[in-house]
Amino acid sequence: RAQLRRVFAVFVPTVLFVLATQFLGIYVASFLLISGFMVFVGRIAWWKSLLTAFVFTAIMFVTFDIAFDVIMPKGPLEAAFGH
């Protein structure tokens, strides 16, 4: 029973991430997934989780969108910034 709970603790947020990517874009969905995992699964302080999620998401953006010019799923937030 405990193992099933751990599996669902990863599976459910991952499915929600895939769905959220379609509506929010890859970067907002990634930010939410990383910060959520850190807070709820890792039991890490919320401010450390938000900071880490922001830095990681910014690195992803610079790497994929700017450096490699890869087309990633965009959401309304990226559209508002003109990307």
Structure tokens at 69: 């010019």
Greatest CA separation for the chain: 47
Residues near 28 by beta carbon (within 8 Å), at least 6 away in sequence: 20, 75, 77, 78
Q: What is the mean pLDDT of the chain?
A: 92
With a cut of 80, say whether residue 79 has pLDDT above it.
no
With a cut of 80, say whether residue 65 has pLDDT above it.
yes
Average pLDDT over residues 28-57: 96
**Claim: this prediction has a pTM higher than 0.75:** yes
Instruction: Give percent of the chain above pLDDT 90.
Output: 76
